[in-house]
Amino acid sequence: MAHLIFKDINKVYPNGFHAVHDFNLEIADGEFICLVGSSGCGKSTTLRMVAGLEDITAGEFYIDGVLANQMSSRDRGIAMVFQSYALYPHLTVYENLAFGLTLEGIDADVIDEKVKATAKILGLTDYLERFPRALSGGQCQRVAVGRALIRKVNIFLMDEPLSNLDAKQRVTMRSEIKQIHRSVGATTIYVTHDQTEAMTMSDRIVVMNAGRIQQVGTPYELYFHPQNLFVAGFIGEPPMNFIRSTVENGHIKTAALDLDLAPIVKDVKAIEGKKVVFAFRPEAIETEPKDKNSYAIKSQVELTELLGDTTNVYANVGDVNVILKVNPHKTPAMGSEFTFYVPHHAAYVFDEETEQVVESDQKRH
Ligand code: ADP
């Protein structure tokens, strides 16, 4: 296991493109960290700097307290799994797993023991004699993970390892990778653009945008306490609803809304006259006012989609489109007027200019 520190890490590519800005993070021994963000936000660049495949332009990177900027990839105790898992097609699963160890000149009986132990962890024991062409996508990916696992490493790096799999295989592999992490315990950095993967697998998530860290936190913290508009909009599916307005006399007012912000904002005076974004998650709304601590909001229903466990309601609040999740038995009719309730504890206000969350006394739950 390894403890990692990133101190003011920056990456500027030779063409002058500044891909990673002031990246600061400490990763504990054995932690499972996801780097998440849209394509091009600097996740792979960061991972490749950890692996020693890219130079660090500025800043310091430490592995177990040792400055590692100039350390060779070999000496970092790292194994990596990529999106394209290129197995050797002419070698069996056994030979694919054994390949790296054979190259290192390790004794055949030691290799045999390791291959069998790794195959057992990954449920590949019955497939050792098969060639990759006779395996499913998920099984191939397990062999790729196995090839990385079989070497005793302290740091496990994965770059979108599940993106070539179909939706069902992804869900299975997600929990398998978590279980492997639990049994192996290596510090893991996992890169994905998929917030569901990040939410389900991580101890902590690092949300990135345009080369900068937006927020670091547990899945719970990011979901209930997004610090800025980017994180609020990125985490959660369907995304959070945003209604833009200006604060007048402590209220937000649009053609369709007049909401007193006092219950959800600590210092209403501080945001008087400012442009803000009122926000709530589609799944946080209620169809009946459970108590008076909620906002009643009128909407016009455009479209409803029954998913089985819930119905997605696409509606308009004035000229703003919102998505609401309701109990399928409470589905409003298309075209009807629909009043829904946002509990105060589930309502957020963001400063539109700074994009930061406005402080609230509400206990989120
Ligand atoms: P992600 O993994 O989040 O999709 P990357 O780290 O791969 O993002 O890339 C971050 C940004 O750096 C992108 O805009 C990409 O085009 C740019 N980039 C990546 N590699 C190079 C390179 N070798 N030279 C110049 N720019 C690069």
Q: Give pLDDT tens digits for 165-197.
A: 788 878 888 888 888 888 888 999 999 999 999
The per-residue pLDDT for 150 is 86
Look at the chain and report how many structural domains it folds into.
2
- Residue at which a domain ends, from 201, 229, 257: 229
Domain match, 266 and 148 both = no
Which of 17, 47, 48, 54 is the pocket-test mutation for ligand 1 (most atoms within 8 Å of CB)?
Answer: 17
CA 266 to chain CA centroid, nearest Å: 29
Judgement on whether residues 23 and 162 belong to the same structural domain of the protein: yes
pLDDT at residue number 244:
95
pLDDT digits (tens, 9 = 90+) for 265-285: 999 999 999 999 999 999 999
Atom of ligand 1 nearest to the CA of 159: 2
Query: What CATH number does residue 174 fall under?
Result: 3.40.50.300
Is residue 361 situated within a structural domain? no
Asked if residue 71 and residue 11 are part of one domain, the reply reads yes
Q: Mutate which of 45, 163, 212, 234 to test ligand 1's pocket (most atoms within 8 Å of Cβ)?
A: 45
- 208 and 338 both lie in a single domain: no
Do the domain assignments include residue 365? no
Q: Are residues 81 and 201 in the same domain?
A: yes
Residue 35 near ligand 1, beta carbon < 6 Å: no
* Residues of the chain under the 50 pLDDT cut: none
Residue 270's pLDDT is 95
Residue 41 CA to ligand 1 centre (angstroms): 7
What pLDDT was estimated at residue 165? 77
Based on the domain organization, do 92 and 208 belong to the same domain?
yes
Identify whether residues 90 and 146 lie together within a single domain. Answer: yes
Q: Which ligand 1 atom minimizes the distance to the CA of 48? A: 6
Same domain, residue pair 221 and 248: no
Together in a domain, 224 and 199: yes
Tell me what pLDDT residue 263 has.
94
- Are 245 and 162 in a shared domain? no
Residues 245 and 225 in one domain: no
Is residue 8, in this structure, part of any structural domain at all? Answer: yes
Report how far ligand 1's centroid is from the alpha carbon of 191 (Å). 13
Instruction: Give the residue numbers spanning the domain of 306.
Output: 240-351
In-domain check, residue 362: no
Kindly give the residue spans of alpha helices, DSSP state H, lying in 35-166: 43-51, 93-103, 108-122, 137-149
For residue 160, is it within any domain? Answer: yes
- For ligand 1, what atom is nearest to the CA of residue 208? 3
Q: Among the atoms of ligand 1, which is closest to the Cα of residue 211?
A: 10
- 115 and 38 in a common domain: yes
